[in-house]
Amino acid sequence: MEQVLRVEGLKASYGGQEVLHGVNLTVQRGEKVVIMGPSGSGKSTLLKCIVHLIKPKSGRIILDGEDLSDGGVDLKKVRAKTGFVFQQYNLFPHMNVLRNLTLPLEVVKKVPRSEAEARALQLLKAFGLEEFAYKYPLQLSGGQQQRVAIARALIMDPVLLLLDEPTSALDPELRREVLETLVDIAKQGRSMLIVTHELDFAEAAADRILLMDKGVIVEEGEPWELLYRPKSEMARRFLVEIRAVVHHKPKS
């Protein structure tokens, strides 16, 4: 199988402190990989490093056949090939939903306005968001904003979709609509790398789970393996904690 992402010995600092101490990982084309780990373990930094939103200190990142550590590589082109979904949605608040989707197509991919709008409306329709096309982001609920943000990432037809805790900022009742959207996308065969604590989602959609702690990957495996037969003590403790949190949440 072809690799869409390969990370080797990645080290990175954040705020003067080294938070990634040599991370290795691969994502095959079409594979869904979930990254879990306690807060502060470096998951979010890892994701941002992959598209150089945070500059890594050392190590290699090969994305869709291009080596990003090679100085001559055009980061803008690499980023246009990946979709990034942030925890806080980060839509552009001064543009309506439709414009949020068409702007990157027009600016980055030079798609003409009319074609960009047609594609955006089609995608919004597929997401059940077409009634919000002319609304502004801050007029929507958090779940709706996050789904628009996912649509904005997808409209660029990325070879790899990176999601950084896409449901963490949402109330429990809004998580489900976002997770359902993500499961749909996962079924369409797109390569995805997702940082999340949603165990049900990981079990339903992931091909593989990586567990991070203190800046390294401590364990990896298929969902059933990692979630029900964890090998390391760290993984066992983490899962107990996270399940306790989940069970205290009101059922939605």
Partner 1 sequence: MNESFFFIASLLPELVKGLQITLEISLVSFILGLGLAVILLPLRIYAPLPFSTLSRGYVELFRGTPLLVQLLLIYFGLPSLGLKLDAYTACVIAISLNSAAYQSEILRSAVKSIPEMQFLAAESLGFSTLQTYRHVILPQTLRTAIPALVNEMVTLVKESSLASVLGVVELTRRGEYLVAYTFRALEVYVAVALIYLAACTILSQAARGLEKKLRIPGYEKGVV
Least separation in angstroms between CB 229 and partner 1: 36
- In angstroms, what is the minimal distance from the CB of 139 to partner 1? 4
Binding mask 155-184 for partner 1 (x = CB under 8 A): -x----------------------------
In angstroms, what is the minimal distance from the CB of 141 to partner 1? Answer: 10
Residues 165, 167, 169, 172, CA torsion sign: negative
CA dist 86 and 103 (Å) reads 18
Phi, psi of 195 (to 5 degrees): -90, 120
Burial class of residue 70 in the structure, from the number of CB atoms within 10 Å of its CB (0-12 exposed, 13-18 middle, 19+ buried): exposed
**Residue 76 binding partner 1, by CB under 8 A:** yes
Smaller CB distance to partner 1: residue 159 or 209? Answer: 159
Q: Cβ 48 to partner 1, closest distance in Å?
A: 8
3-state secondary structure of 149: helix
- Asked whether 85 and 163 are in contact (CB, 8 A), the reply is yes
Report the distance separating Cα 164 and Cα 234, nearest Å. 22
By CB under 8 A, is residue 119 in contact with partner 1?
A: no
The single residue among 36, 91, 179, 209 that binds partner 1, judged by CB under 8 A, is 91
In the bound state with partner 1, the residue whose beta carbon lies nearer, of 77 and 231, is 77
CA-closest candidate to residue 175, choices 152, 210, 199, 203: 199
| b/e 21-58 (16+ beta carbons within 10 angstroms → b) | eebebebbeebbbbbbbbeebbbbbbbbbbbbebebee
Distance of CA 205 to the CA centre of its chain: 13
Task: Point out which span in 14-22, 62-70, 81-89, 234-242 binds partner 1 (CB under 8 A).
Answer: 81-89
Tell me, by CB under 8 A, how many residues bind partner 1.
30
Pairing of strands 208-213, 160-164: unpaired
- The yes or no reply on residue 103 touching partner 1 (CB under 8 A) is yes
Q: Is 127 in the site for partner 1 (CB under 8 A)?
A: no
Q: Which residue in 43, 152, 175, 208 binds partner 1 (CB under 8 A)? A: 152
Nearer to partner 1, 81 or 214 (CB): 81
Nearest one of 122, 45, 116 to 87, comparing CA atoms = 45
If the CB atoms of residues 122 and 139 are measured against partner 1, the closer one turns out to be: 139
Of the two residues 82 and 238, which places its CB atom closer to partner 1 in the complex?
Answer: 82
Using CB under 8 A, which of 29, 79, 176, 214 touches partner 1?
A: 79
Query: C-beta of 94: minimal distance to partner 1 in Å?
Result: 5
Residues in touch with partner 1 (CB under 8 A): 48, 51, 53, 76-82, 84, 86, 88, 90-94, 103-104, 107-108, 135-140, 152, 156
